[in-house]
Amino acid sequence: MLVDSHCHIDFPDYADGAAPLLANMRVAGVGHALCVSVDLERFPNVLALAEAHPNIFASVGVHPDHQDCEEPTVERLLDLARHPKVVAIGETGLDYYRLPREAVDWQRERFRTHIRAARQAGKPLIVHTRSAADDTLAIMREEAAGEAGGVMHCFTESWQVARAALDLGFYIAFSGIVTFKSAAALREVARQVPLDRLLVETDSPYLAPVPYRGKRNEPAYVRHVAELIADLRGVPVKAVDEATTENFFRLFGSAKRT
Ligand code: NI
C-alpha cells in the first residue's frame, strides 16, 4: 500500500466529492493521503476531509504564493495544529518564480514563522521551494528546521540541494514530474536519494503523471510515480510501497494508520 504524501483534494476541482477519489485509491493500493493546507481561509475544508475520513490526514499552513490572505502567526498555527488529524505544518517555503526575491521579504518572514511553529508543535514541515533553493536552505539552517524535520515536497532541484536537505534530516518527495519526458536530471536524483528518506506524492490536482499528463490529478495516480521510481532503481514496486509508507509514518509521527 502506498501513501500520497501531498495532495489538495479540498480544491474546487473535486466538486464531485471525495468518494470517487477514495474508491480509486483503494483500487490502486493507495491506503492514505495527506491533504495539504495552502491558506487559513480554506483550512476548514482540509480539516473537514480529514475528520470525515480516517485515512486522510491534514496539515496547516499558508503557501508562499498566497499573498492576499490571513497572515499566520506562530500562535495561530500552533492553535490549529493541536487538532489530532493535523500531522504537519505547511505547505510553506519560498517561491521566487512569480515575484523577484527583492519583492518578497514577507515570504521569508512567513517561512520563519512556520518553522518556529513546527519546532514548538513538534510536527514536521512541508517545504515548497521554487527558484529559491539557496535562500530556502539558508533559512532552514538559521531557524534550526532540522529540529522539526520535514519533507522537501514536489522536489525538482539538483542532487546538491537534495544532499543539503538530507543533511538537515529532511525527506525528499517526488511527484508526477519524475515521469515527464524532460525530467532526466530529476530521475537521476530520484535514483540516488536513500530509500529510507524517500516519499511519493501527487500534488493533486496538478502535475498528473504520465499517462495522465495534462489531466486532473488524484491521489490514486501516486501509483504511477512509485512504479517509475521502482523501475529507475531496479527494485520491485513492493519495495517502494513498503519503504515510502514506513517513511511517511515515521516522519508524520502523529498520523495513525487505519
Ligand atoms: Ni502543494
Q: Is residue 257 part of a domain?
A: no
DSSP 193: S
Say how far apart CA 227 and CA 190 lie, in whole Å.
12
Residues with CB under 5 Å of ion ligand 1 are 203
User: Ligand 1 centroid to 107 CA: how many Å?
Assistant: 16
pLDDT at site 85: 98
Close Cβ partners of 16 (under 8 Å, ≥ 6 residues apart): none
Say how far apart CA 242 and CA 57 lie, in whole Å.
19
Q: What is the mean pLDDT of each run of 10 residues along the chain (258 residues)?
A: 98 96 98 98 98 98 96 98 98 95 95 98 98 98 98 98 98 98 97 98 97 96 98 97 98 93
pLDDT at site 44: 98
pLDDT at site 158: 98
Residue with cell 517561512: 111
User: Ligand 1 centroid to 202 CA: how many Å?
Assistant: 9
The count of structural domains within the chain is 1
Q: Is residue 194 part of a domain?
A: yes
Q: Is residue 8 part of a domain?
A: yes
pLDDT tens figures, 130-150: 999 999 999 999 999 999 999
pLDDT at site 79: 98
pLDDT at site 175: 98
User: Ligand 1 centroid to 60 CA: how many Å?
Assistant: 12
Residue 3 vs residues 73, 106, 115, 215, 258: alpha-carbon distances, Å: 30, 33, 24, 21, 12
Q: Is residue 149 part of a domain?
A: yes
pLDDT at site 2: 98
CA atoms within 13 A on the CB side of 135: 19
Residue with cell 538559521: 142
SS3 214: coil
At 7, give phi and psi (nearest 5°): -145, 165
At 151, give phi and psi (nearest 5°): -135, 140
pLDDT at site 12: 96
User: Ligand 1 centroid to 91 CA: how many Å?
Assistant: 7
pLDDT at site 47: 98
Say how far apart CA 80 and CA 84 lie, in whole Å.
10
Q: Say which CATH number the domain at 220 has.
A: 3.20.20.140
Residue with cell 516522519: 251
Residue 112 sits in which domain range?
Answer: 2-251
User: Ligand 1 centroid to 57 CA: how many Å?
Assistant: 14
Q: Is residue 78 part of a domain?
A: yes
User: Ligand 1 centroid to 153 CA: how many Å?
Assistant: 8
